[in-house]
Amino acid sequence: MNRAIFLDRDGVINIDNPQFTYTIEGFSFNEGIFEALKLFQSKGFIFVIITNQSGIARKIYEHKEVAILHDYMLNEFANHGIKISEIYYCPHLPQVSNCLCRKPDSISLEKAIARFNIDAASSYFIGDRQRDADAAIKVGVKPILIEENTNLNEIIHLIV
């Protein structure tokens, strides 16, 4: 079985923008992200990104803009020798639809666990909101709750 680190996107991978991050120009990687993920990868972890993107339901941006941004992000990770296994995102608003893909619900984690043969008990979810931790707990993954835009090098000791 695989060990995984699940990552929230905004506030963990990139600097969170309260006005929504959906363009390459508005996207900035958080300090330390590449170094931390390279270390985790060298210890055998795979990576899955789980992110809520309600800006789609709010009609601020569209799926295609998310796809363009995610392609850019994946290419930058690849340029640093980091492989992201998958990105799951929820485009829904909690007030409008009762979906299971929006954190704190856990269907995206459940899909990844099944698809990538992940040992939940040996895996972690790094997030900056309680909903990230709640989703992790629902599937038996260890939550690591950080402050928004934390340098992940500061929490390496919690995993390795």
Which residues are annotated as catalytic?
8, 10
Q: Using CA atoms, how far apart are residues 107 and 105, in angstroms rounded to an integer?
A: 6
Which DSSP string corresponds to the chain? -BEEEEE-SBTTTB---TT---SSTT--BPTTHHHHHHHHHHTTEEEEEEEE-TTTTTTSS-HHHHHHHHHHHHHHHHHTT--EEEEEEE---TTT---SSSTTS-HHHHHHHHHTTB-GGG-EEEESSHHHHHHHHHHTPEEEE--TT--GGGGGGGT-
Tokens of 67: 């796809």
